[in-house]
Structure 1
Amino acid sequence: MIFKLWFLLLLLFLSIFGKAQEAVKGKTADSLAEAKTSTTNISEVIIQSAPRKMKLNEGNLVLSVAGNKDFKTSTHLLDVLRKTPGVTVDQEDGIFIGGRITPAVFIDGKPVVMSNQELQAYLRSLSPEMVESVEVNTNPSSKYDAEFKGIIDIKLKKNVSLGLKASYNGNIYVNKFNYRENAFNISYHTGRVTYNLQTGYNEGISTYRYHALQRLTNTNIMRTQTYQEDAGKVYNFQAGADFKLNDKNRLGINLRGNFRNNDRIRNGSLYTTDKTETQLVLNTASENPTDYSQDNYGMTADYSFQNKGFKLAFLGNYLSVKNKQNDDFINRDRTNTEVLSYWKSDLVNKIGIYTAQIDASQKIKETDIEAGLKYSHSDTNNNIRYDTLSVANQFVFDPSRSNVFSYKEKIWAGYLAYRQKIGDFQINAGLRFENTNSISNAITVDSVVSRNYLKWLPSLSASYTFNKSSEFSLSYSRKITRPAFSQLNPFRFYFSPLNYWIGNPYLLPSFTSQIKATYRYKNWITSFTAGKEKDVMTRYPLYNPETNVLEYLGTNLPYRNFAVLETSFPVRITKWWNITSQISGYYNYEFRPYLDEVFALNIYNYEVRVNQVFSLPKGFTVNVFGAYESKTGNSLYIIKPRYTVDVSVQKAWFDNKLNTKIGINNLFDSYDQRLEFRHKQIMDNRFTHWWDSSRLVFSLSYNMGSSKYQVKETQKTEEENRAR
């Protein structure tokens, strides 16, 4: 069915494009007829530069969104980010910059207070016309939390009309199954107070496949197949009020809740033959049904005072997360359906986060001085119990897999920042301290790890504007990355009966020092980043040739060196055809001790992305987006090349109140991820991850009401980013 829909959509595109060509030919013929009165020769074809859509802000790319033709067919802001230079959005809607950095997402200069899943849903609820610009900061200063190695700052359109405003956004994704997203936003502005409410309901089924081929040490060949269907329902709400007490004081309060339920069915098989692939050795089937739920509650209160050049701001945050998951792991012999093993798991995970921060700034002519202080307290408790089916056909407690784990963390942080502008030259300097006190306790195995450390993190940047067409900036920063709670948790998380990963409570934080240079000439922006990361947190495979079990364990690598070169430039071919090209080159060198050896390779790779926009008659806009990623990897794995092509059509109705879009993402179903272990003398293993990202997409948005007052967004802390 979906192929028929794809075919119909392509026919529609060709039909519209054909009409556009006829219209252009008609206009061209008229123009040539007029031109013949003065000349009979065409001396040249002029390719015009596109209007300025990109600029720099202290060395950071700022990209206009609202009114930008490049994003007219984009369904939501995640689609915009997918086409933004320097930003990558993967198959699971994870956002990355600089190749492998997960950025903090800011709204109007402040981080949003949402879980990863909530953030993705929120970004899908924002249409491109609701967003003024996107700023990509790949080298944040000491003013920001040291955890933020990158920031994407989304500036929403600012309007202050009084009255009621409401909007609805709905999206449908169609593959083998379908997934539906619904978001309703309403705000009411009285002049002194703005009330806002946002509700959402998403539900549907997504699928995933995993294939692996492994040549075992005894020369047997094992094939692993996994198929997963994930049926999910998500309910969420946010309610808040923004009080303008007077011209100098304002107060904001926000409450939110997010409730998620997932029923997952995962079926797999292990098929093992001898090296000739003629003699069957093992043929088993596995079933892994899962019932998962997550309940989030959050509250944010903020206050600000501003008088002339002085500003004072306070922010308080509370977040509560509760996860529950029940799994069954059933393994059978496929030849006679005999149950080979059967175990159950019962997981309860609770996270509580409290934060408070105060910031003050004073402007003196062309100088700004800022200072801030922050305290955060995080508490996570995990209890997972495994029960195994015994020979007596009864489930008994399994202490080898079960564990109780708690993690507590307190952070005191502060910063001092200085900014000075002298004509066309600007300099920024900052110094941040962060004192971390943490205790991880794996109660079942009686392992306690306590740490208390203070780190100083400087930053420095300078920028110079030569003229309206060109500018240059240079910056330096030092960052800290603490392990996420899931990386510390010493539980087994199973992918298959013979494949799982385990957290490491002994992981150390990593530290990154980097420099970045950026140059803009008109619409052409080029940046170069280079740096070194110490105590790199990563996972490594450990294969047991006797049991054929493959574990993924966490560790710290001594260091890695990296560099990123990025350039982007838009070009207008004609009035109805715009192209934006992005080219990125990456270098990575990991010093990786592994199994009594050291593996260190220079890895080079590149990405090319081309976004084409056709403005056609009768208000239709067609977008064709293509991306290619070359072969890459690390010291242990090779990641094969891949590419994707997206096609979409947009049309607005009723004075732009109704907006409809239809498109196909990953048209050729070519964006799976294929990996291969480099060192065959250790392990000959290759595997593929496939997600149902090849989808037919229908989108509808409708705006109601007269007010366009921008509701203030709530904030997200560094600790909440790590509570995933």
Structure 2
Amino acid sequence: MKRSSFLGVALLSMTTISAQNILNGKVTDTKGQSVPFALVKIYSSNSKTDVIVEKVTDENGVFSTSVLNNGNYNLFTSASGYANSSKDFILNNTSQNISIAIEKEKISGIKEVVLVVNKKKTFERKIDRFVFNTENSIASKGVDGLDVLAATPMVKADDEGNIEIIGKSAVSIMINDRPVNLSGKDLVSYLKTIRSENIERIEVITTPPAKYESQGNSGIINIVLKQNSSMGFSGNISTSYLRRSRNGYSNNGSLNYQSKKINTSLRVSQFDNEKTTNENLSIYAGNILKTENTRLDKSKGYNINYSIDYKINDKTSVGAIYNFSDTDTDSDSQNFSRYYHGNALDSMVVSNTYNQSRVKNNQLNIYFERKLDSLGKKLYLGGNLFDSQNDNPFSLASQSDVNSINYQINSKYRYKIYSGQFDLYLPFKSFVGEIGGKYTHFNTDTGLDFFINNADGPVYDNNRSNFFDYKEDNWASYVTLSKSFTEKLEGKAGLRYEYTVLSGIARNSSQVDNNYGKWFPSLYLTYKPNKKNILTLSYSKRITRPGARALNPTTIYLDPYAYVTGNPYLKPSFSNNFELGYIFNNKLSVTAYYQTSKDNFGQIVDLEGANRAVKYLNNYNENSLGINATYSNTFFKIWDFYTSVNYAYVESKGLIDQVQGLSSNSLYYSVNNTFHLNSKKTVSFLLNFWNFLPHTKGNFEFENVQNLSSGLRLSLFEKKLQVNMTIQDILKGMKFRGNAYYTNYQTYSDNYYDARTFNISITYQFGNNKVKGNNKQIKLEEVDRAN
């Protein structure tokens, strides 16, 4: 990466012992600090392809080797984060010193930041991922982690917990290579506890390596937090005001401490938000049903995260992370259902519902890390525990021309996950290996009690009450190998195996038992013919397992004539992902991709007389072929410009009689602009726009979606105080609209989730700003399936 320092002097003193020349050396930077684990290769000057000697410096930057003969040689030196360097020298029987100055690596990024000296480039492409270095983005100053994701190229994120990579169907979130154990609202709450000032970069991994869990048919977003290299205390406090159609507030605080032995952090967040939601659904099946639902959503809660890392010695550390969250979500809604014969209104049902959900999550991780030798080999051992409880009372009262209905449902969900794992990082002279294994036990216990309210009070309905108990055990192991074949060509390959055993049973005798084992390979190649051109090739296989609610056969009523039920016989879906990438002159990046997926599952609407049954089924296969292009530049020293375009051809085939296959062309593009309004760059203006033209997914045909956003950032008091103001969805174009096609009928949806938002946030940093705190996170990605 581009930095101000250079790798300075390699001091080589030589003596002759038993007809051999013993070569000793030490690699340091320009400040005299040792550079550990630097690779040193010695070639004959006549042949720079055959390595005579290859060594790696120890933790103090020292190496020692023997060379048989005097003569002309070439010394090649490289280290992580530094550019490669080589120098010719003459070896003889007298001691001599050889000085080698190596500049820190200039990353082949996508966007060059020329305004600020010694700043990283904003975008870069690595062998298996796209990297967004957030330091130079207006959208990553004085905001939270969710806002940073929303500003990341190729990523869409909102307050509903909908986070995705463009062109992919789902996503897993990680922090410092450790999956976050939350999803939906809980994930949003947690991301809001992370301050943008503590985020170093966002990595978008569209074809994940074998090291990562094979779960998820899309990719991974890895949030890399800044490391803590300074001693003392630091912290920040922030407050935000959010205005949709209603007001919202959030407050966050963190306190970090670093000493020679201890690195610890405490983060606390609190939020209280309200918004309105409008959902409209029309069903055309000979006769017509139109529903209009207006809902007021209220959510409030808090989150506490504490982590501590203790350094036993220079090679060994242990630690623990604990996270607790408590979230209340209340929804009041009014539903109008109108039934038509032809164009004539036949009847109408008016329903009022109240839905309350309180979720408490506890998660604990303990770990042990040890460096095994001077080459950098490392061992990681970890144990994880996750426990989530959700109490979800629901009541409904409706009236129609014929009758009235009044009932209440008490639902309880309990998720428990236990896991243990080990990871070995094994760098050798000619390649780097990684091996690991993991065991996970997943258990969900859900119950639903159904009561009918009458004049004498609530009456228990045994027929519509239910429970579901589900258990799943997963064993996994992996191996990866990476190697630089030449200065121009490097590769990485991996293989993962997972074996799953599952069982589930419900009160209504629905039962499922299954087991399966699968291999998941991955492959990456990078070729750099010169400084201006980079070619990449990648492949990975993935699995998407259904979540607990999708498997739960318990019936959940939405209104008197609509209900949702899970399917315990759902099969996992599998996908194969291929990518071919090209980067030119650090500004233009083009990626072509092809993806196949089989047995995709999701919700479909089935008509059962006057009732609407929403069911989970494996309902389509899909092939997609596309190309993504990005371009970035800086103009007039004040205007940072970034644009992205994604075109795809998608073809789906229905697997059941109800679902029709569709094919379509789709186009997504975004334009991002940041204008620095003064020379010190303490005042910046943001103007962004993205547009997703009509496209299909499965049997659903989406209409046009767009978002115009703008913002202003102020940095005051030597950048200790940050003030951010942003406006999202200025044109009110983020509407979910489109048709779903079935064999005997079709549906049309027109939904809006109160996306037009004004947000102002104020963040104050105190203490030693270089102290970033302990940023290790829990590795337990199975929690994503618990919601």
Work out whether the TM-score is over 0.5. Answer: yes
Corresponding residue for 1:570?
632
Q: Alignment partner for residue 604 of structure 1, among 660, 665, 688?
A: 665
Aligned residues: 663
- In 2, the alpha carbon distance for the partners of 1:579 and 1:622 equals 12
Question: Which residue pairs with 1:165 in the alignment?
Answer: 234
Report how far residue 550 of structure 1 moved.
1.7
Structure of higher RCO (CA pairs closer than 8 Å, 6+ residues apart):
1
Whichever residue aligns with residue 291 of structure 1, its letter is Q
Match of 2:552 among 469, 483, 489: 489
Alignment of 1:13-162 (within 5 A): 51=114, 52-66=121-135, 68-69=136-137, 71=139, 75-90=143-158, 92-148=160-216, 149-162=218-231
* Whole-angstrom distance in 1 between the partners of 2:460 and 2:452: 6
- For residues 723 and 556 of structure 2, the distance between their equivalents in structure 1, rounded to whole angstroms, comes to 42
In 2, are the aligned partners of 1:322 and 1:348 still within 8 Å (CA)?
A: yes
Residue in structure 1 matching 2:331, options 256, 259, 264: 264
Q: Tell whether the 8 Å contact from 2:299 to 2:327 is kept in structure 1 after alignment.
A: yes
Residue 501 of structure 2 aligns to which amino acid in structure 1?
Answer: N
Residue 475 of structure 2: aligned partner: 412
Q: Which residue is equivalent to 1:361?
A: 425
CA distance in 2, matches of 1:565, 1:115: 29
Q: 1:175 to 1:55 in 2, by over 3 A?
A: closer
1:274 CA drift (Å): 4.5
**Structure 1 position 614, deviation (Å):** 1.5
The counterpart of 2:754, out of the listed 689, 692, 696, is: 692
The change in CA–CA distance for 1:72 and 1:505 in structure 2 (over 3 A counts) is closer
1:304 maps to which residue? 369
Residue 644 and residue 72 in structure 1: after superposition, are their counterparts in 2 closer, same or farther (change >3 A)? same
What TM-score results when the alignment is normalised by the length of structure 1? 0.87
In 1, the alpha carbon distance for the partners of 2:411 and 2:357 equals 9
Contact 1:603 1:634 in 2 (8 A): no
Paired letter, 1:357 = Q
> Structure 1 residues 212 and 316 mapped into 2: Cα distance closer, same or farther (>3 Å)?
same
Matched to 2:150, the amino acid is R
Instruction: Give, in whole Å, the separation in 2 of the partners of 1:200 and 1:437.
Output: 38
Aligned amino acid, residue 482 of structure 2? R
Give the CA deviation at 1:372. 0.6
Q: Quick check: 1:55–1:523 contact (8 Å CA) kept in 2?
A: no
Corresponding residue number in structure 2 for 1:344: 408
**Alignment counterpart, residue 379 of structure 1, candidates 429, 439, 443:** 443
Change in Cα spacing, 1:118 to 1:394, as seen in structure 2 (3 Å) is closer
Q: Decide whether the 8 Å contact of 1:72 with 1:621 is kept in 2.
A: no
Q: Which residue of 1 aligns with 2:47?
A: none
Equivalent residue, structure 2, for 1:435: 499
Q: What is the TM-score when the length of structure 2 is the normalising length?
A: 0.81
Distance in 1 (CA, whole Å) between partners of 2:578 and 2:746 is 38
Does the Cα contact within 8 Å between 2:364 and 2:778 map onto a contact in 1? no
Distance 1:379 1:73 in 2: 40
Q: Give, as a single letter, the amino acid of the residue that structure 2 aligns with 1:83.
A: A
Within-5 A mapping of 1:326-341:
326-333=393-400, 340-341=404-405
Question: 1:103 deviation in Å?
Answer: 2.0
**CA distance 1:629–1:98, shift in 2 (3 Å):** closer
Tell me the distance in 2 between the aligned counterparts of 1:689 and 1:581: 28
Among all aligned residue pairs of Structure 1 and Structure 2, give the percentage whose two residues are the same amino acid.
Answer: 24
Counterpart residue number, 1:584: 646
Who is 1:27 aligned against?
A: none
Structure 2 gaps of 5+ residues are: 1-110, 115-120
Shift of 1:124: 2.7
SS in 2 for 1:129: helix
Provide the rounded CA distance (Å) in 1 between the counterparts of 2:169 and 2:342. 41
Deviation at 1:151, TM superposition (A): 1.2
SS in structure 1 opposite 2:569? coil
2:247 is aligned, of 171, 175, 178, to 178
Letter in 2 for 1:232: S
Residues 629-687 of structure 1: CA distance to partner in whole angstroms, max 9, x if unpaired?
111123533211121111111111111000001121111222111122346x7224312
- Give 2:361's aligned amino acid: N
Give the structure 1 partner of residue 513 of structure 2.
450
Paired with 2:751 and 2:568, the residues of 1 have a C-alpha distance of: 28
Mapped partners of 1:359, 1:685: distance in 2: 49
**C-alpha deviation, 1:241, in angstroms:** 1.2
Q: How does 1:417-566 map to 2 (within 5 A)?
A: 417-423=480-486, 424-442=488-506, 444-521=507-584, 522-544=586-608, 546-547=609-610, 549-557=611-619, 559-566=621-628
Change (3 A) 1:298 1:126: closer
Q: 2:303, 2:426 → 1: CA distance?
A: 39
CA distance, structure 2, for counterparts of residue 262 and residue 59 of structure 1: 38
Q: Please say which structure displays the higher CA radius of gyration.
A: 2
Report the counterpart of residue 280 of structure 2 in structure 1: 211
The answer for the alignment partner of 2:311 in structure 1 is 244
Indicate whether 1:660 and 2:712 are aligned.
no
Measured after TM superposition, the shift of residue 324 of structure 1 is 0.5
The residue aligned with 1:36 is: none
SS in 2 for 1:486: helix
Q: Which amino acid is 1:552 matched to?
A: V
| 3-state SS of 2:655 partner | strand
Counterparts of 2:734 and 2:636 in 1: how far apart (Å)?
31
Partner of residue 25, structure 1: none
- Secondary structure of the corresponding residue to residue 161 of structure 1: coil
| Per-residue Cα deviation, 1:419-439 (whole angstroms, up to 9, x for no partner) | 111222112121111110100
For 2:713, which of 650, 667, 672 is the aligned residue? 650
